[in-house]
Amino acid sequence: MNLNFDFEKYTPPKITEEKLTLLAERRREVRQLLLLTVSSHLLFIALGLAAFLAAPYSMALSVLFLSVLALWLAGTGVIAVVFTKKQLEKREANALFNLLS
């Protein structure tokens, strides 16, 4: 029988259980973050639509909805900036650690 692949030529990468659980945890975190982002955007849309639907009946309620939406968007922007800076610092620290190792 003629083999097409030489399995003795290369050694497989060393993957430990710890690395696999870390990878699974990261994927779980990414899924949770994606679901949180999608639900947040849907709530933004719902709040904006509620403001426009409430406008003919109560302008004060509509302004309240839009004010809450503006504050919520500003808070989300601040959280996104802080999270991004934290991730960039973590990547720079990992790159420096890998460079020194």
Nearest to 66 by CA among 52, 86, 78, 87: 52
pLDDT tier at 2 (50, 70, 90 boundaries)? low
Strand boundaries in 6-80, DSSP class E: none
Evaluate if pTM is beyond 0.75: no
Domain spans, the chain:
17-100
Q: Under a CB-based contact definition with an 8 Å cutoff, are residues 62 and 51 in contact? A: yes
Which residue is listed with tokens 């003795």?
Answer: 8
Give the model confidence (pLDDT) of 34-60 as tens digits.
898 899 899 999 999 999 999 999 999
